[in-house]
Amino acid sequence: MAKELKELTSRSENYSQWYNDLVLKADLAENSAVRGCMVIKPYGYAIWEKIQQELDRMFKETGHVNAYFPLFIPKSFLSKEADHVEGFAKECAVVTHYRLKNDPDGKGVVVDPAAKLEEELIVRPTSETIIWNTYKGWIQSYRDLPILCNQWANVVRWEMRTRLFLRTAEFLWQEGHTAHATEEEAVAEAKTMLEVYADFAERFMAMPVIKGTKTANERFAGAIDTYCIEALMQDGKALQAGTSHFLGQNFAKAFDVTFVNKNNQQEYVWATSWGVSTRLIGGLIMTHSDDNGLVLPPNLAPFQVVIVPIYKNADQLAQISEKVDEIVKKLKGLGVSVKYDNNDAKKPGWKFAEYELKGVPVRLGIGGRDLENGTVEVARRDTLTKETVSMENIEQFIADLLKDIQANIYKKAADFRASQTREVNSYDEFKEEIEKGGFLLCHWDGTPETEEKIKDETKATIRCIPLDGDKTPGTCMVTGKPSAQRVIFARAY
């Protein structure tokens, strides 16, 4: 069984297969009977709960409140913002009827043709339209602003090629939707949320990200500016991990949402929206995990420590358990989450393999010899190293170790990204380098045409125009025209 558990495809053999094997074998998620929709299994969902908990706290600390808006959007709403309909109204789940009836010809049920909706309802692919239609009733004066709402919800986009967590027809996410009296305030909000996302990615996911803006081609449908965080996966492909949009007055105009400003003038309201999704779990996996299984950052692991007793008989187990109870209590006192696996039906070897696969940051093994010596075996998942440590002050040792692991996996990912990020100055060189993966920093003339040409010829897209770093102008690697600064190209998920 331990062997079977470990039978992951290796990353070098087939990265994509490794990813899929890992998601299934680590019990994170699986495909469901409904095309493109996944079941998020308890262990995967526990990671999502940790993500939610931290983000929700960060949203509230920055003044946001949660609310809930309808799952369904009247079809006509999607057409009200011209760009938005192009981006979202095409591949979506359409509700056309509201009743089934017994099949007159036999068994089962059929759609009742008499129960056709006057106007079709779309299962929300994103909620700008229904929310701005609602905000119209909430906003009359500048005194009603800002509105700083977030919702945790499921959304549906009818994707043709799906991959667990990374691209699924239904996924879970949060979507913030804010309304402001001034352009400056809305832009500041979009940037604040970008910082929240970047901070979360780096401090909790241990995933280094580059903050930037999207080009017009890659922008959210209906946005004036899309801010994003981009991460680099182990296979050299980029992952867009979160976006924050400055929407200008586009949705206010589409839904006629105006307010009386301080000078007693009628004005359209300014908007932002921002979101991250269960896709983050895919990013988490592809940033840290290895051929032995998941590697979870301590700050998001469902449990940070697992304790496995190694015993010959019930008496010895009882002695070990007594000691473990003390350790568990002390660890919890320091805020460390811990699982004691005393399941007698599984052998220690099986448990070791299982928790390695599941990426538990620290494993403690305690046997008869340890009881005698007052020691415990400490194994860390990130380096796969083991050491024997005194039980004295073990809780502080573990708490420090967890911090160390969190820092270490971040550093490892940051070093990897640094090694895969390089400046490229000619298009010939670009075509060669893009095959090796990674972030390529290149000059680009700023036109959608050149961007399209590069995408068509190399499958690489501009991931973002970085906000930080080198801002030296140059000349486009393709057209030789002026370039304001280097931008980041990569192939992406």
Tell me whether residue 156 or residue 488 sits nearer to its own copies (CB atom): 156
For its own copies, the closer of residues 70 and 348 by Cβ is 70
The answer for residues whose C-beta is within 8 angstroms of residue 470's C-beta and 6 or more apart is 441, 485, 486
DSSP state of 48: H
Please give the Cα distance from 145 to 183 (Å, whole number).
Answer: 13
Q: Which of residues 73 and 324 has its CB atom nearest to its own copies in the complex? A: 73
Closest approach of its own copies to the CB of residue 105, in Å? 14
DSSP 106: S
Min dist. Cβ of residue 52 to its own copies (A): 10
Decide whether 109 or 384 has the Cβ nearer to its own copies.
109
Nearer to its own copies among residue 77 and residue 197 (C-beta): 77
Distances in Å between the alpha carbon of 291 and those of 239, 320, 361? 20, 32, 15
Cβ closest to its own copies, residue 122 vs residue 228:
122
Listed residue (117, 135, 129, 124) closest to 78, CA to CA: 129
Residue pair 198/215 in contact by the 8 Å Cβ criterion:
no
Burial class of residue 151 in the structure, from the number of CB atoms within 10 Å of its CB (0-12 exposed, 13-18 middle, 19+ buried): middle
Write down the least CB distance from residue 151 to its own copies, Å.
8
Segment holding 340, helix H or strand E? strand 338-340
β-pairing verdict for 362-367 and 270-277:
unpaired
- Both tokens assigned to 144: 């009603």
CA distances from 416 to 64, 197, 331, 403, 412 (A): 35, 21, 32, 20, 6
- What tokens appear for 373 in the block? 């010596």
Q: Which is nearer to its own copies, 102 or 472 (CB)?
A: 102
Q: Smallest distance, Å, CB 301 to its own copies?
A: 15
Element housing 253 (H / E): helix 250-254
Report in angstroms how near the CB of residue 365 gets to its own copies at its nearest: 23
Q: How far is the CB of 183 from its own copies (least distance, A)?
A: 23
Residue closer to its own copies, measured from CB, 37 or 371 = 37
Q: What is the dihedral of CA 175, 177, 178, 182, to 10 degrees?
A: 120
CB of 111 to its own copies, least distance (A): 6
Considering the complex, what minimum distance in angstroms separates the CB of residue 154 from its own copies? 6
- SS3 of 267-302: EECEEEEEEEECHHHHHHHHHHCECCECCCCCCCCC
Q: Identity (one letter) of the amino acid at 468?
A: D
Two structure tokens written together for 95: 């509700």
Distance, in Å, from the CA atom of 261 to the CA atom of 247, rounded to the nearest integer, reads 19
Peptide bond into 361 cis (omega under 30): no
Instruction: Return the number of the residue (48 or 311) whose C-beta is nearest its own copies.
Output: 48
Is the Cβ–Cβ distance between 400 and 394 less than 8 Å?
A: no
> Which stretches of the chain bind its own copies, using CB under 8 A?
30, 32-34, 37-42, 45-46, 48-49, 65-79, 85, 89-101, 107-109, 111, 120-123, 130, 133-134, 137, 143, 149, 153-154, 156, 158, 170, 172, 345
Nearer Cβ to its own copies, position 95 or 216?
A: 95
Nearest-approach distance from CB 191 to its own copies, in angstroms: 23
Helix intervals (H) in 173-232 = 183-203
Using the minimum distance from each CB to its own copies, give the nearer residue, 62 or 154.
Answer: 154
CA atoms of 296 and 314, how far apart (whole Å): 33
Q: How far is the CB of 67 from its own copies (least distance, A)?
A: 5
For residue 8, the SS3 value is coil
- Min dist CB 24 to its own copies, Å, is 11
Q: What sign for the dihedral angle of Cα 306, 312, 317, 319? A: negative
